[in-house]
Amino acid sequence: MLNFNIKNKIKENKPKIILICGAKGGVGKSTLCYNLALASQSLKHNTAIVDADIYGPSIHHLCGIKQQAPEIKHNLMVPITVKNLQLNSMGFLVPKESALIWRGPMISKAINNLINKTIWSDLDVMFIDMPPGTGDTYLSLLKNFPEAKAVIITQPQQIALIDTVRTIDLMNKANINIIGLIENMANKLYKNKTQDFCKAHNIKKIGTLEHDQNIPFLSENNQSLFEQNNKNSKIILQMAKKILNF
């Protein structure tokens, strides 16, 4: 069992915490979080995913897990395991199709429980799927886990990059290291757009994923892009290596 509480951490057992984030919704954060975690696991890192998207958790859908309450042992949650990934999600704690109307303190407590009240086993790295925006979920995590590092997901369109600037600003103000930016759903119309954006904001570009029209089908059928053995799956593996070596 690992306790993520900062005051009680043992340095030798401290896993890497990677925030998969971006202020703009719909840019593919959850899909990339899941695929990067699978790539991490394939590289022999014991890997977990926490779905911290309070209002729209979707990792359990991508993993093909029906909504279920996690097993409880000694007042702690047992993560659900799928494809050797350890998983805990707001989607397990909130009734299906229920609107979640929570204020900041309740959100902070829920996120703390997902991470600190779960029996993680021999963990090397944890990917946290963050919600869009820059609200209470971010503030809670950045306060309690200042050693976390951020990977920013965006599409190349200007409407997405406008919100991406806000994510960068938040991380800089919170003194959170930004590993870099991933361009998702790239197309020729916006060639070099994110490269110029990264230079302007002094962050590294981790990689680019081209638009893949098969992703909706794969997601609906509980299949991952990483497992398809194509150009994009190889790119995901290389991006995971860069992220884990940061």
Model pLDDT for residues 56-106, shown as the tens digit of each residue:
888 988 988 876 778 999 999 999 999 999 999 988 877 666 666 666 677
C-beta of residue 117 within 8 angstroms of C-beta of residue 93:
no
In our burial notation (b when 16+ CB lie closer than 10 A, e otherwise), range 63-75 reads bebeeeebeeeee
Statement: residue 123 has pLDDT above 80? yes
DSSP 141-172: HHHH-TT-EEEEEE-SSHHHHHHHHHHHHHHH
In total, the chain counts a number of residues equal to 246
**Ordered domains of the chain (ranges, CATH):** 14-244 (3.40.50.300)
pTM of the predicted structure, to 2 decimals: 0.90
- Report the SS3 class of residue 68: coil
HSE-up (13 A, CA, CB side) for residue 204: 12
Q: From CA 22, how far away is CA 155, in angstroms rounded?
A: 10
Q: From CA 182, how far away is CA 27, in angstroms rounded?
A: 10
Q: Between vectors from CA 35 to CA 10 and to CA 219, what angle results, nearest 5°?
A: 135
Q: What is the mean pLDDT of the chain?
A: 87
The values of phi and psi at residue 208, to 5°, are: -130, 130
Residue 8 is predicted with a pLDDT of 41
Residue 102 is predicted with a pLDDT of 67
Local structure of residue 71 (DSSP, 8 states): P
C-beta of residue 144 within 8 angstroms of C-beta of residue 6:
yes
C-beta of residue 139 within 8 angstroms of C-beta of residue 133:
no
